[in-house]
Amino acid sequence: MKQEMYAPAGTPVANARAGKSKIGYLIKDIVRDKWLYLMLLPGIFYFIIFKYIPMYGVTMAFQDYKPYLGFFESPWVGFKHFERFFSEPQFGMLFRNTVILAMYNLLFFFPLPIVLSLMMNELRHAKFKNFVQTLVYIPHFVSWVVVVGIFYILFTTENGILNEILYQITGQKIAFLLEAEWFRTMIISQSIWKEVGWGTVIFLAALAGVDLQQYEAARIDGAGRWRQLWHITLPAIRSTIIILFILRLGNFMDSGFEHIYLMLTPTNREVGDVFDTYVYTIGMTQAQYSYSAAVGIFKSVIGLILVLGANWLAKKFGEEGIY
């Protein structure tokens, strides 16, 4: 961060650097750009106070945390909670459910905002385009409770509209909300309904930055719509896609607690129980804070590894990556 801050101003000074100590230059730089550094301070404090200091809380995972003893008095127990977690019979099921849902998300959900923004980009009529854009944003502002409630009304076997239609046609009803095999389909389709529109924001911004002259040139060369898409539009937003993909991997293990929790029923728990809901059951209802902190750390570590790996891979293929 600091480098970014003094880099633009630093170039002319760089020549004069030789011979003097680095610290001396640093102080000189700071004195000269004091106002810039002053503006940086609130940001630094924000990260220290709200991000770094609370991180001390992760030590809870290595303690037997007791609320009345606090962080400093609770006994240290090393990796006890991690050992318990990995030897838990449910561990395999939770891991599988979380990973499968995450894969489905990457496979079915992630590409859709790209497709949708490409489609919206092709719209000619500006007013119509704005209208569609606004329309697809709306579901994002509907809370999960309401979304699940709407799906419940539509899909329930007792007078649910969809099931009534199905019953008229086939004479059968399908318990979408109860059957384990429908669970993932429901979760992913709800995510798509709610978030796809919102996901187009960044892609549309990237698309707006594509130089129109390139399209003109391509048209003169006789390229059709598909050719333009393939050779101009997609390469132009490729780095955006990759960055968003890497960031997405950081949340790979986050399944969206609220959403899943609302959709869980006794009959789909074996495919629906994920780390997030497990942490809730253990941490909130059974008040085993240390154990649930250990589960949380495990999730974060996997997320970190995925981000580092994806970033390394992106750089290998000559892309920018996120840092």
Partner 1 sequence: MRKKLALLMGSVLLATTVLSACSSGNNQNAATNSPEASQTPQAEAKPFDLSIVVNQVGEIPPKGNPIEQALAKYTNTNLEFQWIPTAAYDEKINVMIASGELPKLMKVGYIPTTISAMKEGLFWEIGPYLKDYENLSAQPQSYFDNIQVEGKIYGIPLFRDMGRAVVQYRKDWFDAAGLAVPKTLDDWYNVLKAVAEGDPDKNGEKDTYGLLLDKNYNQNAASTLTRLSVSQGGPNKWGVDDQGNFTPEFMTDEFFATMKLFKRLYDEKLINQDFSVVDSATNDKAYESGHVALRISGGNAQTMLTNLIKVVPTASLDVAPMEGPAGIRLPGESGNAGMLVVPKSSVKTEEELRQVLTFLNKLLDKEMVYLLNKGIEGTHYKVEGDFTIPLDKDKDFKEVKPYRDTLIQRGDNYNMDKPMKESDLFLKNKKMVRENENYVVKNPALVLDSAIFTERGKELEQMITDAETKFIMGKIDEAGWQAEIEKWKKAGGDQLMEEYKAAYLKDKQ
Half-sphere exposure of 213 (CA within 13 A, CB side): 0
d(C-alpha 161, C-alpha 172), whole Å: 13
| Count of residues interacting with partner 1 (CB under 8 A) | 25
Cα angle 199, 201, 206 (rounded to 5 degrees) comes to: 115
Cβ proximity to partner 1: between 105 and 277 the closer is: 277
Residues in the chain: 323
Is 221 one of the binding residues for partner 1 (CB under 8 A)?
no
Tokens 């990759």 -> residue: 242
Cβ proximity to partner 1: between 56 and 68 the closer is: 68
Cβ proximity to partner 1: between 15 and 285 the closer is: 285
d(C-alpha 174, C-alpha 156), whole Å: 9
Is 185 one of the binding residues for partner 1 (CB under 8 A)?
no
Cβ proximity to partner 1: between 173 and 259 the closer is: 173
Give min distance, CB of 156 to partner 1, in A: 5
Interface positions, 60-79, toward partner 1 (CB under 8 A): 66-68, 70
Neighbours of 179 (CB within 10 A): 15
Cβ proximity to partner 1: between 107 and 145 the closer is: 145
Cβ neighbors of 262 (< 8 A, separation 6 or more) are: 144, 145, 148
For residue 62, the 8-state DSSP code is G
Give min distance, CB of 77 to partner 1, in A: 14
Integer angstrom CA distances of residue 150 from 56, 145, 159, 196: 41, 9, 13, 18
Which tokens in the block code for residue 14?
Answer: 């760089």
Stretch that binds partner 1, among 20-28, 139-147, 175-183, 207-215 (CB under 8 A): 175-183
Give min distance, CB of 68 to partner 1, in A: 6
Cα angle 240, 242, 243 (rounded to 5 degrees) comes to: 65
Give min distance, CB of 109 to partner 1, in A: 24
d(C-alpha 210, C-alpha 117), whole Å: 14
Stretch that binds partner 1, among 137-145, 200-208, 210-218, 282-290 (CB under 8 A): 282-290
Stretch that binds partner 1, among 75-83, 97-105, 173-181, 196-204 (CB under 8 A): 173-181
Q: Which of 8, 12, 54, 89 binds partner 1 (CB under 8 A)?
A: 89
Half-sphere exposure of 58 (CA within 13 A, CB side): 12
Stretch that binds partner 1, among 7-15, 104-112, 152-160, 307-315 (CB under 8 A): 152-160
Cα angle 233, 239, 244 (rounded to 5 degrees) comes to: 110
d(C-alpha 317, C-alpha 160), whole Å: 50
d(C-alpha 115, C-alpha 294), whole Å: 38
Stretch that binds partner 1, among 10-18, 104-112, 121-129, 279-287 (CB under 8 A): 279-287
Cβ proximity to partner 1: between 12 and 266 the closer is: 266
d(C-alpha 176, C-alpha 182), whole Å: 6
Q: Which of 95, 152, 198, 215 binds partner 1 (CB under 8 A)?
A: 152
Q: Which of 19, 171, 222, 266 binds partner 1 (CB under 8 A)?
A: 266
Q: Which of 99, 112, 118, 175 binds partner 1 (CB under 8 A)?
A: 175
Spatial contact of 216 and 89, defined as CB atoms under 8 Å apart: no
Residues that bind partner 1 in the complex, under the rule CB under 8 A: 66-68, 70, 89, 152, 156-158, 173, 175, 177-178, 265-267, 269, 281-282, 284-289
